[in-house]
Every structure is written in structure tokens, then in C-alpha cells.
Amino acid sequence: MNSGGIFDLDRKKKRLEELGLQAENPAVWNDPAKMNALNKEKSILEKAIAEYESFAQKLADAEVLVDMAIEANDEDTFSEAKNEILSLQKMGQDLEIKRVLSGELDANSTYLSINAGAGGTEACDWASMLMRMYLRYADQHGYKTDILETSDGDGAGIKSVTMLIEGPYAYGHLKAESGVHRLVRISPFDSNARRHTSFASVFAWAEVDDDIKIEINPNDIEVETFRSSGAGGQHVNKTDSAVRMRHKPSGIVVACQSQRSQIQNREKALKMLKAALYEKEIEARNKAKEAQEAGKKANEWGSQIRSYVMHPYQMVKDHRTGFETNQVDDVMNGDLDGAIMAYLKSQIHPEGVQS
């Protein structure tokens, strides 16, 4: 076994030792925020090391099983070994994904916003289809979802939605979705059954921990309250409980209407704003603004990162990586792993891909 380097096993073990030493420092015990951050990183590393060591042990066992099958010329043992190898392929793919997700915020939960592009009802319907796709993706991966704010379309669908998707590495995966998404289909709203092209933009940004300090001058925030238009009961719909915040220096706007009280919505909106500002700061530091720039592209022809074609043929194609599939229904039902993994692999340095 020499593939430990692929998954940075030695580096992870060394870092785990460093965290163990830090945890023995009495000064850390009196700093709850630092202790929580340390324990969180420690837990992630321990899980990663255990997963790799389990994979390595099962691979060694499979090799023994193959040798036994060859020596005994036993078909049943061959079949057992084949099933073990297929299982190991899936485990290896999962480990590879986690190797790719090594960014500072990749392990965090994520906010995800969807905005309909130009095109009226068509674009609003497309935005609602994307919302359903991401909700199904989240459900399939055991993520918890919370619709924070939504704006309904005039005739159908939605103009915009912001949701929180909570779970390990939610941001690491869904950052691959930031950009403009293009749909080509026969419109169900066109009585002449003509083909239409619709656009919607998607943008993901990581939720940040409470122990990360982001200082915001209250004078830089413009707060607006409004009546919730989404589900939430009569109380929500009859009071101005929803909150929209605009950070004047950066132009960032966030909104929350998922809670019954204005105070709770204000707290959530402020947390969203801090997360957005933190991501902006990280991007500036690393000079890696591709995701943010993709989110700001015009919702129009030529700027899309991915196309979903339903007529005259069936195809989903990611224009950044060349990933293609003709299983459009599966993708719209949340099967995004192929497209997301292709994007994440493309972000590794060439030597990382080849290792």
C-alpha cells in the first residue's frame, strides 16, 4: 500500500498530533471558542484517518481473497472477491472526493441562492425546477434544508430563493454549482409548443462558525422589513416579520423570512451577511474569485456553466469540464454527483489528478 500519500495521510496524522498537544494546554481550556474549533478539526481528521485505514484494510483483505480464489480455482471465491472490489471502488471514490475538498471552508454548511434570469414565467419556472433539484440532492445526501427567503414568480415558479443546506462538506460540494444554468425545452406555457431557452443563476457561499469574528459597522447596514410571501402560517403573512439587509460598502444583500419573529429573522440575516463578507475576504486573500464572478455573470446566452437540454435531444453538459450525461431526469431529481465530482477534480493541480 503506497497510496496513503494520495490522501495526505501522513500530514493528517501529524496535524492530529499537533491538535492533541494544543488540547493539553490549560490556556485553551479557558477559551471555549478555540476549544470548539480545535475539537471540530480534530473530529474531522480522526474520521478521515479512520476511513482511509478501513479502506486500506479492506483492500488488503480483497487481495488475499483474490489470491485464494486463484490458488483454489474457486468460482464462488472469485465472485466474492469481485463484489468486494466493486464495494472498494465506491469507497475509493468517496475518499477521493474528500481529498479534493481541502479548502478552508469546504467542510461547512452552505447558503445557496437561485435567481431567475430574463424570460418571465419561463425563467421563474426554471428557477423553481433548480430549487427542487437541489432540495432532492440535499435529501439524498442526508443534508438538512431550510428555505430562508423566497420570492414567487408572477405567473408560475419563483423569482428567487435563498436556502441553508446544513451538513458536512455541503459547501465543498455545492460551490461547484455557482454560475448560470441554461435550460432548453418545449415550453409548457407556449400554446404553439415552441422551444424556449431559459436562464437562472446559482450562487453558493459557506456558512461560517460563530467563533469567526466578522466586524460590521451598524451604520453600514440598511435594514428593511417586509411581509413574508412564503409559507409559514397566518402570523407570518400578516406581519412585517421578514428582514432584508444590505451592506452598503460591499453591495451584498441578504434576506430571511423563514422564522415567525422579526428578531429571529434579523439574527439569521445578520449571520448570512457575516458569512457572505467572510467568503469575500477569503476570496480576496486567496485570489480565487471564480465562483463569485460566475455568480455575477449576466443570466443570458453565452455565460452559462451548464446546459440542460430536454428537446430536441436529452443531455446535461457542464461547459467547464466537458462532463455530459443523457440522464436528464436523474439529474433533475438530484443526481449531481457526476457533474460535481468532475468540477472538483478539475480544480486540482495536474499533478494532483495524476497521483
Provide the pLDDT confidence category of residue 212 given band limits of 50, 70 and 90: low
pLDDT at 313 over 90: yes
Q: Are residues 63 and 38 in the same domain?
A: yes
Share of the chain above pLDDT 70, in %: 86
**pLDDT of the residue at 9:** 80
**pLDDT of the residue at 5:** 43
pLDDT at 354 over 80: no
Q: Are residues 93 and 111 in the same domain?
A: no
Q: Are residues 28 and 121 in the same domain?
A: no
Q: Are residues 88 and 160 in the same domain?
A: no
Share of the chain above pLDDT 90, in %: 43
Looking up residue 186, the CATH number of its domain turns out to be 3.30.70.1660
Assess whether the previous peptide bond of 312 is cis (omega < 30° from 0): yes
Round to whole Å and give the CA distance between 311 and 193.
Answer: 11
Round to whole Å and give the CA distance between 127 and 183.
Answer: 10
Q: Of 100, 120, 142, which residue constitutes the final position of a domain?
A: 100
Where in the sequence is the domain holding 20, given as residue range(s)? 3-100
Q: Are residues 151 and 50 in the same domain?
A: no
pLDDT at 210 over 90: no
Evaluate whether 197 touches 299 at the Cβ level (below 8 Å).
no
**CB neighbour list of residue 169: distance below 8 Å, 6 or more residues apart:** 98, 101, 106, 107
Q: Are residues 167 and 221 in the same domain?
A: yes
pLDDT at 349 over 60: no
Q: What is the pLDDT of residues 48-61, one digit of tens each?
A: 888 888 888 989 98
Q: Are residues 96 and 204 in the same domain?
A: no
Higher pLDDT, 96 or 318: 318
Q: Are residues 197 and 314 in the same domain?
A: yes
Higher pLDDT, 151 or 90: 151
Provide the pLDDT confidence category of residue 299 given band limits of 50, 70 and 90: low
User: For residue 17, with 0-12 CB atoms within 10 Å meaning exposed, 13-18 middle and 19 or more buried, which class applies?
Assistant: exposed
Q: Of 70, 100, 130, which residue constitutes the final position of a domain?
A: 100
Q: Are residues 247 and 345 in the same domain?
A: yes
Q: Are residues 127 and 247 in the same domain?
A: yes
**Domain tally, the chain:** 2
Mean pLDDT of 128-134: 98
Mean pLDDT of 182-192: 86
Q: Of 75, 100, 125, which residue constitutes the final position of a domain?
A: 100
Looking up residue 85, the CATH number of its domain turns out to be 1.20.58.410
**pLDDT of the residue at 28:** 85
Q: Are residues 181 and 258 in the same domain?
A: yes
**pLDDT of the residue at 232:** 45
Q: What is the pLDDT of residues 214-254, one digit of tens each?
A: 888 999 999 999 887 654 444 445 577 899 999 999 999 99
